[in-house]
Amino acid sequence: MGEMKQSVLMKKGAEASLYLADWHDRKVIMKKRLPKKYRLPELDKQVKTYRTIHEPKLIHEAKKAGVPTPTIFLVDVESATIIMEYIEGKQVKKLLSKTSRSERQHICLEIGELIGKLHRYGIIHGDLTTSNMILNSEGKIFFVDFGLGEKSKELEARGVDLHLMKRALQSTHFRFAEECFSTVIEGYSKMLSSENVKNILGKIKEIEKRGRYIAEREGD
């Protein structure tokens, strides 16, 4: 994997740990999937290998769909580690509630367009929260963490994806949640046919009625 200096643990999730590191004079993110003691070693390896290969693939495909994502530098299957570009910028989560109304609308419109591009291309992000979106100094929004992503064009998958976005807005930016989400949908609608959008919105309503996902994002 080459020389790695000064790695700092940024986030410890249930499945993987994220480190900020210096790698060949570059600031990088190192995502390492941890071994699970409860799984048989050979099964553990099989699962981690699949995901370590699958996630960079989705990140790469998202680029083809026109969605900015970190560049993948190295995938080391043996240690279940992905080394990728560190996106210099701010988490949308940290600025959305503080910025001006017009800026907020601009960001939400952009987010909606990006989700629309992903879905049009058949990619489901799987964890659309404003903490997984980074705004850089040039005003470009990057999507990160495709660890729960999948390839799908199904209505259900798209609906759940957007519903998670809505929930994330409600829990983190509750004062503007409604305004933000309708702007996200406005951006999203530019990317898919009106028939498609209508069906997806109906699906979101159905998902909400089922009552699940409700409190999942609180505290995120």
Residues that bind other proteins (CB under 8 A): 13-15, 36-40, 42-43, 46-47, 50, 126-127, 148, 150, 160, 210-212, 214-216, 218
Going from the C-alpha of 163 to that of each of 58, 145, 202, the distances in angstroms are 20, 17, 11
In the complex, least distance from residue 11 CB atom to other proteins, rounded to whole angstroms: 11
Distances (CA, A) of 194 to 118, 186, 188: 17, 11, 10
With respect to other proteins, which residue has the nearer C-beta, 18 or 160? 160
Indicate if 127 belongs to the active site. Answer: yes
Which two structure tokens, joined as six digits, stand for 170? 């409600």
Q: How far is the CB of 33 from other proteins (least distance, A)?
A: 12
Beta carbon of residue 205, minimum distance to other proteins (angstroms, whole number) = 16
Least Å distance, CB 57 to other proteins, is 16
| Minimum CB distance to other proteins smaller for 16 or for 107 | 16
Alpha-carbon distance 145 to 126, whole Å?
Answer: 9
Q: What are phi and psi of 35, to 5 degrees?
A: -70, 145
Rounded CA-CA distance 161/138 in Å is 27
Name the residue nearer to other proteins (CB basis): 140 or 212. Answer: 212
Q: 44, 76, 127, 145: which one is catalytic? A: 127
Of residues 40 and 138, the one with the C-beta less far from other proteins: 40
The residues carrying an active-site annotation are: 127
